[in-house]
Amino acid sequence: MKLVALLVLTSCALLSAVPAARQGPPYDTVPAVRGAPLYNTAAQDSPAGVFVSRDVYLMGTRARLSTYAVTHDSGLATLESALAVLDDAEEELSTWRASSAMSALNRQPVGEPWTADARLCRMFSDVWEWQRATDGAFDPSIGRLLAAWDIRGAGTVPSHEAHERARALSGMALLAFDPGRCTLTRRADVSLDEGAFGKGEALDRAAAALGDAPWMIDLGGQISVGGRVPPGGAWSIGVADPRRRDHAALQLRMATGSLSTSAGSERDLVMSGVRVGHIFDPRTGRPATFNGSVTVWHERGLAADALSTALYVMGPKAGLRWAEARGIAVCYLIPERGTLRVETTRAFEDLRIIAPG
């Protein structure tokens, strides 16, 4: 297999949950305003061309797109085209939007097949495959459970009856996927949630649309890079400390592929002793109990995204065993008695310099 460029672990004992690019000039902070995505641009000359960057509000998060180009204008045009792809992906996949294809699928009458176009069909094939491969730790058919626990709102612990009702309406077995015909049929009032794979899919679509120039897209919890190797040989990526998100606990260098981090959120509620985090264990129907973060590198964005969620659900002990057996590059950051323990698979350590092309 042609292994593309790398991930260099430059510092151990440190790592983070919200990867943050550390390349390029400093930025002003401007409040994110939905519907007015551009809130900052920056440009700076370098021997490799002009470094051009845009900060936008996208997919419910602050995002940064960067590239090197011959001119500032051509760099901006490149970023503009990537942004258009990401916008389209959000329009198609976001269940926050009633107009999206995913929302239409979730509204499709029970028992009536819903037809996906070729691109969505490929995406659903991947989603089904990762659900199976992770033994259901990644299972996006838990929309009803997430709603019962009010994960998109303030969070709540539902009554036993409400929880059981939602649980009975969750699970991939309730959604029949026919990859040959590209149809999905709801067997019950199940609801698909894109939260654990939508960003990865959007990044893969942007990667396919971008050209040869070095580029990086940082979507908050997930970063993809591609094109030619940037000046210095790689992009510098900080992975946040799960206890203090504004601090990078680990610095990585990355010249290809996608790095996804799943972690609890500062917004997690603790109610009657239950931490209501946004990542659920589909096998228990309850919030996953791990309190650190897990970072996964994969050549494909969707895979990195789905895997980081699944490995968060599995937790470090089972997750490291599972990932090691499959040669997947994974790093857990585990808060422990005031320190942060770093546990990685061999594949994560092996991702040093792998020459591109």
User: Closest CB to Mg ion among 252 and 306?
Assistant: 306
Q: How far is the CB of 310 from Mg ion (least distance, A)?
A: 8
Looking only at the bridges linking them, the beta strands covering 293-298 and 329-336 are: antiparallel
Residue 305 near ligand AMP by CB under 6 A: yes
Q: What are phi and psi of 310, to 5 degrees?
A: -60, -40
User: Closest CB to ligand AMP among 89 and 196?
Assistant: 196
Looking only at the bridges linking them, the beta strands covering 215-218 and 183-186 are: unpaired
User: Closest CB to Mg ion among 108 and 265?
Assistant: 265
Q: How far is the CB of 315 from ligand AMP (least distance, A)?
A: 12
* CA 2 vs CA 9, 179, 200: distances in Å: 21, 29, 22
**Of the candidates 49, 226, 282, 292, which one interacts with ligand AMP according to CB under 6 A?**
282
* Residue 205 contacts residue 49 (beta carbons within 8 Å): no
State the number of CA atoms in the 13 A half-sphere of 260 facing the CB: 29
**Of the candidates 166, 305, 310, 344, which one interacts with Mg ion according to CB under 5 A?**
305
User: Closest CB to ligand AMP among 54 and 199?
Assistant: 199
User: Closest CB to Mg ion among 52 and 279?
Assistant: 279
**Of the candidates 92, 193, 201, 218, which one interacts with ligand AMP according to CB under 6 A?**
193
Tell me the three state secondary structure of residue 230. coil
Q: How far is the CB of 214 from ligand AMP (least distance, A)?
A: 25
Residue 155 near ligand AMP by CB under 6 A: no
Tell me the three state secondary structure of residue 299. coil
DSSP string, 154-172: T-----HHHHHHHHHT-SG
Kindly tell me the number of DSSP H helices and DSSP E strands found in the chain.
Answer: 8, 20
- Considering only residues 189-208, where is the footprint of Mg ion by CB under 5 A? 196
What angle do helix axes 198-209 and 72-93 make, rounded to 10 degrees? 140
Tell me which stretch binds ligand AMP (CB under 6 A): 79-87, 242-250, 268-276, 309-317.
Answer: 309-317
Residue 201 near ligand AMP by CB under 6 A: no
**Residues that contact Mg ion, how many (by CB under 5 A):** 4
**Of the candidates 49, 75, 140, 264, which one interacts with ligand AMP according to CB under 6 A?**
140
Residue 280 near ligand AMP by CB under 6 A: yes
> Residues 11, 14, 16, 22: is their CA dihedral positive or negative?
negative
Q: Please state whether 327 falls in left (phi above 0), alpha (psi between -120 and 50) or beta.
A: left
Nearest residue relative to ligand AMP (C-beta)? 195
**Binding residues vs ligand AMP (CB under 6 A):** 138-140, 142, 146, 193, 195-196, 221, 262, 278-280, 282, 305, 308-309, 312-313
Binding site for Mg ion (CB under 5 A): 196, 305, 308-309
